[in-house]
Amino acid sequence: MRELRIAAVGDVHLDESLRGRYRVHLRDIGEHADVLLLAGDLTRHGTLEEARVVADEFRDLPVPVVAVLGNHDHHSNHPAEIAAMLSEVGIKVLHDEAVVLDVDGARLGVVGGKGFGGGYAGKCASDFGEPEIKAFVGHTKRIADRWRVALKELDADRRIVLSHYSPVKDTLIGEPLEIYPFLGSYLLAEAVDAEGADLIVHGHAHAGTERGVTPGGIRVRNVALPVLGRAYGLYRL
């Protein structure tokens, strides 16, 4: 099986003022990548007007496009409508589920979802005490469980996990320590390590670091646009 080329970016935060300005950087993407992954925060405020810009910027590309939504995309309470709008132009939006892409005969499996927070081993929230804290941690636990099931059931030659929130703190270095619990959770890494993957990509941490690794040795890449400083990162499997 030949090498697979994975383009990925998150936190593009598009709105009408940026219409056409991202698309220009994707003109030659088919020459460099086999798939494009969008790691959430595609809009600024999660409005349908902003989502139309996202749809127009990423539609009809020569490679498959797979996306997850981020916290900004939920802000105006239209995540289902945003996902539907992107789906209408051929962008696959994942909600804690998997898709398998045929890339020149190779089966590339992508498990994706927003992820959520809670912090990292030894310095994390626990589902104890007030209902609000239990709900916060419980949300992440349910997401991690769904990822674990999706990975277990995934039949593919190569496996990628696409998230908005980070599964490890390696890629948060540069962010204030005080906000780590709101940037991701170790529970996400535990789920992926349990079932295995070749790569995890995420966004969300604008001041973080590009490269990290899970406790189980899986590569993690923070593809937030402010971290990358380029239209997309390119990773090889």
pLDDT mean for each 10 residues of the chain (237 residues): 93 96 95 98 98 98 98 98 98 98 96 97 85 93 98 97 98 97 98 98 98 98 98 97
pLDDT digits (tens, 9 = 90+) for 187-215: 999 999 999 999 999 999 999 999 999 99
Helix axis angle for 186-195 and 131-153, nearest 10°, is 20
Structure-token match 């962008």, residue found: 91
C-alpha pair distances (Å), 9 with each of 25, 33, 90, 193, 197: 12, 13, 18, 23, 19
Helix or strand or coil: residue 166? Answer: strand
Give the per-residue pLDDT at 208.
98
Evaluate whether 208 touches 175 at the Cβ level (below 8 Å).
yes
Task: List the end-to-end C-alpha distance of the chain, in Å, as a whole number.
Answer: 10
Structural domain boundaries in the chain: 5-236
Summarised one tens digit per residue, pLDDT across range 109-119 is: 999 999 999 99
CB 54 within 8 A of CB 67: no
Nearest by Cα to 233 from 11, 3, 2, 1: 11
Is the domain defined by 5-236 classed in CATH 3.90.1570.10? Answer: no
Q: Exposed, middle or buried: residue 93 (CB in 10 Å: 0-12, 13-18, 19+)?
A: buried
Rounded Cα–Cα distance for residues 83 and 15 (Å)? 16
Answer whether 0.95 is exceeded by the pTM: yes
Amino acid at 110: V
- Which residue type is seen at 187? L
- Which pLDDT belongs to residue 89? 98
Nearest to 156 by CA among 110, 215, 97: 110
